[in-house]
Amino acid sequence: MMEDINNIDQLFRSNLSSYSEKPPEELWSSIEKDLAKNRKRIILPLYFKIAAGIIVLLGLGTITWNYLRVKTDDSQVAIFQSPSIQQSDIKPIENSAIVSSQIQTEDQKKVIATQKVAEKKNDPGVASQKPFIPSSEQTLEQSITHDEVQMTVQPESESTIILAEEVVETPVSNTTAESIVVEEKEVTATTKNDLIIQQNLLALEQEKEESDNNPSRVWSVGGQAGPQYSYRYVDVKEPDVYLNNANKNQYENPILAYAGGIQIEMEPSTRFSIQSGVFYSKIGHQREYPDNDMRGEDIAEVFDPSMEEVNYIGTIAPNKQINNFYNTDLTNIDISVSSVERYLEFLEIPFIFSYKIINKKLDMDISSGIWADLLIGNKAYITTGASNTDEYSNKNIGDFNCSASIGFGLYYPLLEKLNFSLKPVFKYYLSPVNTDPATNVYPYSFGLMSGLRYTF
């Protein structure tokens, strides 16, 4: 029997291995035509790569420019450099009354304060007592609420300063007029320059107060979890024409798994933050075998512990002994391997940079990071027949890996210091997970993490 088998191989090999037959004449001209076409096509992808590179650089440049611009705005101090004072540059203080002044007499340096009316007293006597009697020594209280003041100073003449706003007409001489209550402190503003200096000092003070209330470093802690859709990229190391990527990528499918963890975040400035933490991640891929009808003898052969199923992400090795299915009556047995699922589980520590692109009620940031990954789980599930599933493990998987991520973060405030977070993220392994010398397998995943973040 064996002899016959060898003879069959030998018979075909000796006769067919160097068999030659002339192909049709027209075949060469059609090959030539396609060769000429292909040469033109190669040039185009190069242009695409250059264009993509330019777009990436423009994008990075825009982000950097925006960051620098915002930083300048944040740290800007109101400095008045011209007689024309823009009151809107002054930082706001709460609980302040508006002070604006209007000079009624052109001859004098007069500052008349008019205010948001807090109280109206129908006290003719009061009016004359109010410090609105124009005088060059007049003291003014100036606390300015940003929202209510839009004052511009337009010098009518050198000696006058007009701060115009909601003017409440105060006929000083009219004793029956309503008087206006001055609520605030008084600021000396005898000259135009003095006024400018005073306003600058106020602005600086306000800025300091604000920074005291809002420390530059903000810490947050949070948790998140969610599904991730994972697959892998296979790269053939040896330039063997058979082990090409199209072949490797053709039969396997992505798999839905999950990830989650806790995260600590530090914001050194308003827009930037650094994150780390500890995460768990499960990835893998799946392979179905719809066409392989394996009969009993094949099952016994394949799942014999001495044999292993080889695949790109590693060899599946049985964790346990498989009973020999071998049966004399094989024709009635129709056992088929319906699917193989492979999973790898990692413990991961990230180092992520984030940049906030929207800083309002709904925050949004873009983040990118590097992860250190430790393999903590390794499983393969082989399903035979309708539903019988056996557990195996994947061999030749490395213990340590490195991956990179890029994603968005959306944050919605639930309470004062508690945010709800939603983060779509793309993760890609930078090092291959398998130790097979012939191929490199790089898993990647698309995940949607949701969770909570507490700021303190």
Partner 1 sequence: MLYEMFSSRMFGVCLRYAGSKEDAQDILHEGFLKIFEKIEQYAARGSFEGWVRKIMVNTALEKYRSQYRMVRLEDEGRESDEKNHEDLADNITVNELLLLIKELSPQYRVVFNLYAIEGYTHKEISDMLDISEGTSKSNLSRARSILQERVKQYYNQTVKVG
Which residues, listed in sequence order, are joined to residue 225 by a DSSP beta bridge? 260, 450
Q: Which of residues 345-404 bind partner 1 (CB under 8 A)?
A: none
Report, in Å, the least distance between residue 320 CB and partner 1: 18
125 binding partner 1? (CB under 8 A): no
Question: Of these, 9, 107, 147, 416, which contacts partner 1 (CB under 8 A)?
Answer: 9
**129 close to 147: Cβ distance less than 8 angstroms:** no
435 binding partner 1? (CB under 8 A): no
x/- map, 332-351, partner 1, by CB under 8 A: -----x--------------
**What are the contacts of 361-364 at 24+ separation with CB within 8 A?**
361/412, 361/413, 362/410, 362/411, 362/412, 363/409, 363/410, 363/411, 363/419, 364/408, 364/409, 364/410, 364/411
**CA distances in angstroms from 422 to 63, 357, 448, 453, listed in the order given:** 22, 15, 7, 10
Buried b (16+ CB within 10 A) or exposed e, 211-245: eeeeeeeeebebbbebbbebbbebebeeeeeeeee
- Nearest to partner 1 of 199, 311 (CB atom): 311
> How far is the C-alpha of 407 from the C-alpha of 421, rounded, in Å?
13
**280 close to 259: Cβ distance less than 8 angstroms:** yes
Report, in Å, the least distance between residue 239 CB and partner 1: 6
- Nearest to partner 1 of 247, 431 (CB atom): 247
- Nearest to partner 1 of 103, 382 (CB atom): 382
- Classify 44 as helix, strand or coil: helix
Question: Of these, 75, 88, 136, 292, which contacts partner 1 (CB under 8 A)?
Answer: 292
- Nearest to partner 1 of 33, 417 (CB atom): 33
The phi-psi region of residue 26 (left if phi > 0; otherwise alpha if psi is between -120 and 50; otherwise beta) is: alpha
> How far is the C-alpha of 380 from the C-alpha of 383, rounded, in Å?
10
21 binding partner 1? (CB under 8 A): yes
Stretch that binds partner 1, among 71-79, 209-217, 304-312, 421-429 (CB under 8 A): 304-312
- Nearest to partner 1 of 85, 300 (CB atom): 300
> How far is the C-alpha of 244 from the C-alpha of 327, rounded, in Å?
39
**CA distances in angstroms from 15 to 2, 6, 20, 23, listed in the order given:** 20, 14, 10, 19
13 binding partner 1? (CB under 8 A): yes
Q: What is the CA radius of gyration of the chain?
A: 39
Stretch that binds partner 1, among 30-38, 161-169, 172-180, 386-394 (CB under 8 A): 30-38
Stretch that binds partner 1, among 22-30, 79-87, 116-124, 324-332 (CB under 8 A): 22-30
Count the neighbouring beta carbons within 10 Å of the beta carbon of residue 146: 16
Beta-carbon contacts of residue 302 (< 8 Å; ≥ 6 apart):
294, 309, 337
- Nearest to partner 1 of 1, 415 (CB atom): 1
Report, in Å, the least distance between residue 269 CB and partner 1: 50
**294 close to 340: Cβ distance less than 8 angstroms:** no
Report, in Å, the least distance between residue 303 CB and partner 1: 8
Stretch that binds partner 1, among 9-17, 59-67, 68-76, 365-373 (CB under 8 A): 9-17
Question: Of these, 297, 370, 375, 454, which contacts partner 1 (CB under 8 A)?
Answer: 297
**155 close to 103: Cβ distance less than 8 angstroms:** no
x/- map, 36-55, partner 1, by CB under 8 A: --x-----------------
* Neighbour-count burial of 67, counting CB atoms closer than 10 A to its CB (0-12 exposed, 13-18 middle, 19+ buried): middle
182 binding partner 1? (CB under 8 A): no
- Nearest to partner 1 of 12, 400 (CB atom): 12
Q: Which of residues 190-249 bind partner 1 (CB under 8 A)?
A: 239, 241-244, 246-248
Residues near partner 1 (CB under 8 A): 4-5, 8-9, 11-13, 15-24, 27-28, 30-31, 34-35, 38, 239, 241-244, 246-248, 250-251, 290-295, 297-299, 301-302, 307, 309-310, 337
